Amino acid sequence: MSGHVSPKSLYYSIFGALMVLTAITVFAAFLNLGAMNAPLALAIATFKATLVVLFFMHVKYSSRLTKLVVTTSLFFLAILLGEMMMDYATRGLGVIPPPLQ
């Protein structure tokens, strides 16, 4: 295994950051931002996941092959979400309305 050892303090500060972000998520849940509610929660969650992947899972210090694997997975996740949103975002678009009875 790759021998990179990060200082303990780094882990503690990442952990701290995750906790703070959790608190922000909870706080944000009480704000009413209308359509932005879900995007904001997802943005915070994505940022937290990125921290976990980069530091706790050591991807930041891993070989280029490992990074390639991670990027590839994200690419396919993007396909899943992107093409699915393509459907949901365009529902009803270009549909010829039925003739009036």
Partner 1 sequence: MLDTLKLPERHYLNNGHGLKSWLLTKDHKRIAIMYLISISVMFLIGGLFAAAVRVELMTPEGDLFLADTYNKMFTMHGVVMVFFFLIPSTPAVLGNFLIPPMIGAKDLAFPRINLLSLYLLWVGAAFFFYALFAGGVDTGWTFYTPFSSSASNSNVVPTALGAFISGFSSILTGLNFIVTIHRMRAPGLTWFRLPLFVWAHYATSLIQVLGTPVVAITIVMVAVERMFGFAIFDPVRGGDPVLFQHLFWFYSHPAVYIMILPAMGVISEVVSTFSRKTIFGYSFVAFSSLAIAVFGFLVWAHHLFVAGISTYSAMVFSFLSFAVAIPSAVKTFNWAATLYKGAISFETPMLYAYGFFGLFLIGGLTGLFLATLGVDIHVHDTYFVVAHFHYIMVGGAIMGYLGGLHFWWPKLTGRMYSEFFSRISAILVFVGFNLTFFPQFMLGYMGMPRRYHAYPDEFQVLNIMSSAGAAVLGVGYLLPVLYFLWSLKRGEVAGPNPWGASGLEWQMPSPPPTENFKEQPVVHGEPYEYTPHVAREANLV
Q: Which residues bind partner 1 (CB under 8 A)?
A: 65, 72-73, 76, 79-80, 83-84, 86-95
Given the complex with partner 1, which of 26 and 80 has the nearer CB atom?
80
Nearer to partner 1, 1 or 93 (CB): 93
Residues whose CB is less than 8 angstroms from the CB of residue 2 and which lie 6 or more positions away in sequence, other chains included: 58, 61, 62, 63
Cβ 15 to partner 1, closest distance in Å? 27
The least distance separating partner 1 from the CB of residue 11, rounded to whole angstroms, comes to 27
Question: What's 100's DSSP letter?
Answer: P
